[in-house]
Amino acid sequence: MGKKIIAAMSGGVDSSVTAALMVKAGYDVIAVTMRLGNHDTVEFDADKPNCCSLEGVEDARRVSRLLDIPFYAFNYTNQFRKSIVDYFVDEYTAGRTPSPCVMCNKDLKFGKLLDQADQLGYNYVATGHYARIEQDVESERYLLRCGVDLQKDQSYFLFSLTQDQLSRAIMPLGELNKDQVRAIAREYNMLTADKPESQELCFIADDNYKRFLKDRIPDQIQPGAIVNQDDEKLGEHQGVPFYTIGQRRGLGVSAKTPLYVMQIRTKDNKIVVGESQSLMRDSMQVEDLNLISISKLEAPIRAKVKIRYKDSGAMATILPLGKTSAKVQFDSPRRAITPGQAAVFYHDDLVIGGGWISK
């Protein structure tokens, strides 16, 4: 294969430096920005960085001009709505807590963009993720490792990438920390050098997901009962999409000890609450497994398992339940295991694989 590469550019400092490093490495680079559209009823604040905004597109265009590489903006509005926004809403409606960044990486950045690369005759896609990809000499499998900057490591969001996607992905920031990235941007006099981090949910203008859901699906959000584990009513909730496992604030229920959401029952529209200890679980089931460092899970393995992005991880035994599911048995109980979130398995800095927490 040749050295023709698409640099995915959002208009932020990470993607800007990624493009620069690819040019420096001698690749034939074109910059591509995904126009994702505004799926909110609220206008985005022009002063806040956002990869969905026109400002982000223009910043990417300016950096491309600085690097003297072709720039393209492709409209992925419909794909983004179906794969990310609709998924986000559907998960909350079903009583689960979604992880839209994982889906965006799988379906858009390493799905739609690789399709675009094929159409344009390009071989690879480079992104500004803080993670590392390498190929194992013996197995010939492509491996995913944490970025060296553990504060910025994004390997958790990349667990669902396939061998084909990993073989065509380049992530040059995996060996750098954020300060080094900004320093490189300053060397190039990039206008994005000191640009702040973009907000977590790029498609929600004010970061208020409850307001976003209420605007999109008002008829599906109905009040209901907040009950204890004996099904005794303690209060009223505002609608099951507004709650997540482990939530304490905003319950509107008074008790001698703090209460937390421990179960979301969509069938009878109830939120079950309990004391902190009721959130502890020693096992969970994971579906839709995607394995990276190994081809299949044939026998129990030991791994450190993260149950959310900011989780530091905990040791567990992973037992196969079939081709695409597994039981994770933790050495010690974990707090607030949340259906809908990704569970990612690690051996030191190596991503073994992962799946979606189902129960």
Q: What is the DSSP string of 311-344?
A: ---EEEEEEE-SSS-EEEEEEEEEE---TTSEEE
Residue 249 belongs to domain with CATH number: 2.30.30.280
Residue where a domain stops, chosen among 207, 240, 274: 274
Q: Are residues 27 and 143 in the same domain?
A: yes
Q: Are residues 267 and 287 in the same domain?
A: no
How confident is the model at residue 52, as a pLDDT? 55
- Assigned domain for 200 exists: no
Residue where a domain stops, chosen among 187, 208, 230: 187
C-alpha to C-alpha distance for 285 and 308, rounded to whole angstroms: 15
Q: Are residues 16 and 162 in the same domain?
A: yes
SS3 138: coil
Q: Are residues 300 and 338 in the same domain?
A: yes
Q: Are residues 226 and 299 in the same domain?
A: no
How confident is the model at residue 242, as a pLDDT? 93
The model carries a pTM of 0.91
Q: 312, 69 in Cβ contact below 8 A?
A: no
Q: Are residues 62 and 97 in the same domain?
A: yes
**How many structural domains are present in the chain?**
3
How confident is the model at residue 300, as a pLDDT? 96
Active centre residues (catalytic)? 104, 202
Q: Are residues 32 and 17 in the same domain?
A: yes
Q: Are residues 73 and 179 in the same domain?
A: yes
Q: What is the pLDDT along the chain (359 residues), one digit of tens a residue?
A: 458 999 999 999 999 999 999 999 999 999 999 988 776 666 655 555 555 567 888 999 999 999 999 999 999 999 999 999 999 999 999 999 999 999 999 999 899 999 999 999 999 999 999 999 999 999 999 999 999 999 999 999 999 999 999 999 999 999 999 999 999 999 999 999 998 887 667 888 777 889 999 999 998 899 999 999 999 999 999 999 999 999 999 898 988 899 999 999 999 999 999 999 999 999 999 999 999 999 999 999 999 999 999 999 999 999 999 889 999 999 999 999 999 999 999 999 999 999 999 98
Q: Are residues 51 and 161 in the same domain?
A: yes
Tokens representing residue 187 in the block: 């060397």
Q: Are residues 268 and 289 in the same domain?
A: no
Q: Are residues 36 and 160 in the same domain?
A: yes
Q: 87, 103 in Cβ contact below 8 A?
A: yes
Residue 288: give the domain boundaries.
281-357
- Assigned domain for 320 exists: yes
Q: Are residues 31 and 160 in the same domain?
A: yes
